[in-house]
Structure 1
Amino acid sequence: MHGHHGPAVEADAHSDTRPWGPMLVALVAQVLVVIDISVVNTAMPTIGHELGLGSSDLQWVVTAYLLLSGGCLLLGGRIADLISRRTVFLTGLTLFTTASLFTGFASGGAELIGGRAAQGAAAALMTPAALSIISTTYAGTQKARGLALWGAIGGLGIAVGVAVGGVLTTWASWEAIFWINVPIGVLAIAATFHVIAKDQKGPAGLAEFDVPGALVGVGSLATLMFTLARVESQGWASVQTAVGLGVAGILMVAFMLIEGRSAQPLVHPHTWKISSLVSSTTVMLGITGLLMAVVFLTSIFGQTALGYSALESGVAFLPLAMTLVVGTHLATHASAHLPVRTIAAIGLAIVSGGGLLLSRADSTSSYVGGLLPGLCLVGLGAGLVFAAVAGSAMNDIPAEHTGMASGFLMTGHEVGAALGVAVLSAVAGTAGNLTAASGVADAYSRGSMAITAIAVVFAAVAAVWMPAGKADAAHMHLH
């Protein structure tokens, strides 16, 4: 295996099969990152009780992670392109593992939130470098399979994270949800030195790094993530929300202007003309938002209306996780016969059907009759979409820009996660009180109907805008 690859050329899986080690390490690292988005959800009441934190402080345990990871992904991707994918991946993985260790030892709110912020910043370095390693190390069918698995992890981690959080909090302690990352991270670091070859320094190094663009771009995304995270407490009509969204928008316009004049832009202006990347990122934002909303609303509904414990609430999502794996498997086989836009549109239509079934659940529903069929449909559909999106997004990207493209795609994932919870909890709240047993069923029904409608809209977006070609048959050509 060579250290640095030019633009990947299409290769038959049988004639040019590379070792699976680099892909496995990259996928394991991404599992840690995505699980940590949702792993704290079921542990929140326990953390609040043991550390004496109120709801506003607890919100920051989630927000700090999303803020730093979502806000800095573009920056992390560009650094990976300019320095070295392996170096940036190792740096992010080491920081993430260390931050997880210290977060578990937190004795107060400030330490816990600071640890979560450090985890998020580390994830922003690790994630785009890991996806870039897969995209440049493999070709042909092998690459298509790796990207499909990557896409599946984007959804699977969210569902599994809730279950892992519930199990560890109930059977061990809330600290265990952070400490479990440490042995896995250490093994991944050791494996990286053995299986991922060094890649050459990028053409520009950091000599012409776009500092103004980085500051303004990160500022825009961080402001957006911060605003979305506070919508649930502030409301969409509040002055704080309006000002936050306005500032994020102004900074994004400034970012675009800076990028147009920069010698080494964080996001090359030509990026917006790569339809496969931009359309796939848009659909990634949609499906991640829908999945996060299903997990968030169903967790509350299960614990409030149906009386589930944290453990029961977490385990309730395992069928969703399993069907998501099935959906990914189906997508990898379908990609040889169907255009990615068709696979994604079918997946979103299935998610829409799942939302419709979930909207019929009420406080008298059983798990098997009320929640299970809808959760299985959501998982199956999401698996199809995540696999199709990850496969199509990284086509048409030359090797020297894969970090930037990876950061771009995963920014859609993080913004989608924040947006899904913010929008759909607000919609659900118009029909009833999410925290009261009397109104939660109406709120859940309204939120699930909104999920159905939004999934239909994104199915249309995927069908019209995503590439008409097959994910594993596209050639890489940007210039």
Structure 2
Amino acid sequence: MNQPTAQPGAHPTRWRILGLLGVAQLMLILDVTVVAIALPHIETDLGLTREALTWTVSAYTLTFGGLMLLGGRISDLVGAKRVMLAGLLLFTAASLATGLADSGAMLVGGRIAQGVGAALLSPSALSLVVTLFDGDERNKALGIWSALGGGGAALGVLLGGLLTAGPGWSWVFYVNVPIGLVIAGVLAVLVPNQRAWAAGRPRLDVLGAVLVTAATASLIYALIDAGERGWLTPFIGWLVLAAVVGYVLFVVWQRRARSPLMDVRLLVRRPVATGAFLILMATALMIAVFFLGTFYFQQAQGYGALHTGLLFLPVAVATMLGANLTGRLIGRWGGRALAVGGLAVAAVGMAVPAVSLHPVAVVIGVSVAASGTGALFVVASAIALGQVAPQEAGIASGIVSTFHEFGASLGAAIVSSVAAASLTGTTLSGFAGGFTVAAVAAAVAVVIAALMTPGRPRQEEPALS
């Protein structure tokens, strides 16, 4: 494949920087799925309940996603390089503390601290990618970034199996420490200083960050607790109402604040809204697969952590192949066809284990679904970020990354409640129910994506002879 022509004035080490930033982002993504494979072992060692296990995933993704907009705003205010390095060092230190956890409270606390570091690192790193590349190179860089994120999530399960079966579950966190320190040192030298785009005295909308995080926390808590209390109980209803009120207050405050966390008008831009929706669906479906698959193979089938991790290797390959193929086709086909196709493939794949819970059927089904979600990651990033202005790169990256993590929180919470009985080992019906919900959600999303996603730009259409 021919290398895209470099833009005039392009940074000479931009591809090396992309590789290092990709590894840093990979750590953040891995820490969602690498933990999934270790959950049964953590449950045994620390005596955690189902709710606490779910919060081990959701506390990280919720903090990560809830503070992402704030991280993107800080990146625009003080410069992406400084924020990226600060987030990477905080995430590394928090990983060490989480690995040392000897109680559920310390574990969840460490995960929250990891989420804060990730919320600083991810949008600033993606902002650097957007500003270091332009034109066709930017699309290629975003495709690589998306492939790392999607495929890395699947590889996280394999790595989690290796570490959990070997030195123990604590090492799924310890492994971040030496990698984080080395990458931080190299990036501090290679990455050019970035211009801070905000004029005047910088202000941070902390109230906005608190409102959106609290609203999402209320919604996630409702989804997790519904598995115990029931979906239609008053308590769950009040939590959902509190989440709705919180989101409304967030929007109202953003329209009134002198220095808002984000311009809410960005969310009604068709490309940004579409990208946010697609990334949320892709991540929710991906996490549903890992959460259900981990407990199905280890508890229902009695497989070890390493065996389970190896079974997810085809999922990793399928995710990266789907992302790579989409990155090559999106310039010619446009986003709509690929988004609809990716969701349709995901729906078909999820339907296989919903119908048959034979281990072979589960592996085949989730691998097919993974190829579809891999495509969605690329389409979402390319649509939402492909044409943003430099001064909007940080906040636009923050929006996309926020919905990525909210999707992870929602996916874990929903399937945890749907499959609650199966997660405690009493029946297999919950696993089938979880895959069914995922298949139906993907099928409904096909229709939404067909209506929302922009078609191929007119100038790219072939001329009629």
CA distance in 2, matches of 1:408, 1:41: 25
Verify: 1:29 aligned to 2:20, yes or no.
no
Q: How does 1:206-285 map to 2 (within 5 A)?
A: 207-285=202-280
What's 2:391 paired with? Answer: 400
Greater shift after overlay, 417-426 or 387-396? 417-426
Determine if the alignment matches structure 1 residue 435 to structure 2 residue 430: no
Q: How does 1:372-411 map to 2 (within 5 A)?
A: 372-411=363-402
What pairs with 1:456-471 in structure 2 (closer than 5 Å)? 456-469=443-456
Instruction: Tell me by how many angstroms 1:179 deviates.
Output: 0.7
User: Mean Cα displacement is larger for which, 226-235 or 349-358?
Assistant: 226-235
Secondary structure at 1:202 match in 2: coil
Distance 1:116 1:269, change over 3 A: closer
The answer as to whether partners of 2:98 and 2:111 remain within 8 angstroms in 1 is yes
1:333 and 2:321 equivalent?
A: no
Of 413-422 and 12-21, more deviation after overlay is shown by 12-21
Identity rate, percent: 33
What is the Cα deviation at residue 210 of structure 1?
2.8
> CA contact under 8 A between 1:232 and 1:422: conserved in structure 2?
no
The answer to whether the 8 A contact 1:57-1:109 is kept is: yes
Shift of the 55–437 alpha-carbon distance from structure 1 to 2, 3 Å rule, reads: closer
Alignment TM-score, normalising by the size of structure 2: 0.91
Q: 1:422 aligns with which of 413, 422, 430?
A: 413
Amino acid at match of 1:408: I
In structure 2, relative to structure 1, the CA distance for the partners of 1:206 and 1:218 (3 Å cut) is farther
Distance in 2, Cα, partners of 1:245 & 1:465: 26
Shift of 1:472: 12
Any idea what the Cα deviations from partners look like across 1:134-188, whole Å, max 9, x if unmatched? 1111012221122122223333233222222221011111111111001110111
Partner of 2:68: 73
CA RMSD of aligned residues (A): 2.3
Cα distance in 2 for residues equivalent to 1:329 and 1:301: 29
Contact 2:70–2:206 (8 Å) recurs in 1: no
SS of residue paired to 2:331: coil
- Residues of 2 paired with 1:206 and 1:312: CA distance? 55
- Partner in structure 2 of residue 343 of structure 1: 338
**2:463 counterpart residue number:** none
1:297-321 per-residue CA deviation (whole Å, 9 max, x = no partner) reads 2222222332222222222111011
Secondary structure of the residue aligned to 2:332 is coil
Contact 2:42 2:169 in 1 (8 A): yes
Higher helix residue share: 2
In the superposition, relative to structure 1, how do residues 115 and 338 fare at CA in structure 2: closer, same or farther (>3 Å)? same
**Matched residue count:** 454
Over 3 Å counting, the alpha-carbon distance change for 1:34 and 1:238 in structure 2 is farther
The one-letter code of the counterpart of 2:219 is: L
Mapping for residues 276-355 of structure 1, pairs under 5 Å: 276-355=271-350
- The whole-number CA distance in structure 2 between the counterparts of 1:20 and 1:406 is 19
Q: SS of 2:193's equivalent?
A: coil
1:162 to 154, 157, 164: 157
Paired residue type of 2:414: V
Do the aligned residues in 2 keep the contact of 1:13 with 1:140 (CA within 8 Å)? no
Deviates more, 1:58-67 or 1:245-254: 58-67
Q: Is contact 1:170-1:311 (8 Å) kept?
A: yes
> Any unmatched runs of 5+ in structure 2?
461-465
**8 Å contact 2:274–2:383 — kept in the other structure?**
no
The answer to whether the 8 A contact 2:40-2:295 is kept is no
45 and 403 in structure 1: CA distance in 2 versus 1, 3 angstrom threshold: same
Distance 1:46 1:450, change over 3 A: closer
The alpha-carbon deviation at position 325 of structure 1 amounts to: 0.7
Taking the aligned partners of 2:228 and 2:30, their CA distance within structure 1 comes to: 24
CA distance in 1, matches of 2:91, 2:458: 32
Cα displacement string for residues 50-105 of structure 1 (whole angstroms, at most 9, x for unaligned residues) = 33444444443223212311211111111111111111101100000111112222
Counterpart Cα distance in 1 of 2:48 and 2:239: 25
Q: Give the counterpart letter for 2:405 in structure 1.
A: E
Q: Are the counterparts in 2 of residues 338 and 470 from structure 1 also a CA contact under 8 Å? A: no
Deviation at 1:32, TM superposition (A): 0.7
- 1:177-192 → structure 2 map (5 Å cutoff): 177-192=172-187
More deviation, 277-286/233-242: 233-242
- Kept in 1: contact 2:350–2:435 (CA 8 A): yes
Deviations 1:188-222 (A, max 9, x none): 10121122100123323653333433332333233
Q: 1:248 to 1:283 in 2, by over 3 A?
A: same
SS of aligned partner of 1:132: helix
1:451 paired to 2:438: yes
Hey, what does 1:4 align to over in structure 2?
none
Report SS of the residue matched to 2:36: coil
Residue 64 of structure 1 corresponds to which residue in structure 2?
59
Alignment-mate amino acid for residue 80 of structure 2: R
Counterpart of 2:373 in structure 1: which amino acid?
Answer: A
Q: CA 1:58–1:454 in 2, change beyond 3 Å: closer, same or farther?
A: closer
CA contact (8 A) 2:154 2:319 kept: no
For the structure 1 residues 189 and 37, does the alpha-carbon distance in structure 2 shift closer, same or farther, using more than 3 Å as the test? same
Deviation at 1:470, TM superposition (A): 5.8
Displacement of 1:42 after TM fit? 2.1
TM-score by length of 1: 0.89
Shift of 1:341: 1.3
After TM superposition, the structure 1 = structure 2 runs for residues 366-377 of structure 1, keeping only pairs within 5 Å, are 367-368=359-360, 370-377=361-368
Whichever residue aligns with residue 295 of structure 1, its letter is F
The Cα shift of 1:404 comes to 1.0
* Structure 1 gap segments, 5+ residues each: 1-11, 474-479
Q: Which string of whole-angstrom CA distances, capped at 9 and with x for unpartnered residues, describes residues 80-133 of structure 1? A: 111111111011000001111122222333322221111011111111111111
1:89 alignment counterpart: 84
